Amino acid sequence: MLLKIVQVGEPVLRGTARILTAEEIRSREIQKLIGDMRETMYKAPGVGLAAPQVGHSLQLAVIEDKPEYTKDADNGFLREQERQPVPFHAIINPKITLLEGAAVDFFEGCLSLSGYTAIVPRARKVRVDCLDAKGRPKVIEASGWYARILQHEIDHLGGTIYIDRMLSRSFMGVENYKEHWKEKRMSEVIALLEGK
């Protein structure tokens, strides 16, 4: 079942989501929610969706970066992003550790702030300790675009949205991004935004 994706301004997006017990995770209700979130993420389309984005204040997110999302993308751009397909999975009650100090800048969007994008500095590598969709402990070590997705979704579980972390001069509508910025390398974008 498709769920409604709430937009910025909804209080659920600004609270700290509730931890789930192993028993709750295995319940029919949460398993259905995971399936519905997956379907909603595909339809949007997006590469991640956190439970607060569909009105549930729970420490749960689903992630998948399908190969078809980048099939027409420039290989140089994908290398710069360090972007590779990521299979579907859920992360529950995640604890994140940033493994690399230097931040990497890229444009991000959000299904709860539709029609906009901005550059967001993120750690290049992360470690996430969490539970999987069956309530089993899982450790994820990720880098590049996958690490960015994890940081973005885990932020949602603590009430943070990418606009809280963005480079404010880079905030723009998606149409303007596509027309003026999409084909540029990040170093060029940053220089232009800083007036250099």
Residues that are catalytic: 153
8 A C-beta contact, residue 181 and residue 193: no
SS3 168: helix
What DSSP string describes 79-93? HHHT---EEEEEEEE
8 A C-beta contact, residue 5 and residue 46: no
Cα(167)–Cα(162) distance, integer angstroms? 10
- 179 φ/ψ sector (left φ>0, alpha ψ -120 to 50, else beta): alpha
Cα(82)–Cα(79) distance, integer angstroms? 5
Give the chain's largest Cα–Cα span: 56
Cα(176)–Cα(40) distance, integer angstroms? 26
SS3 19: coil
Two structure tokens written together for 32? 């259905």
8 A C-beta contact, residue 62 and residue 49: yes
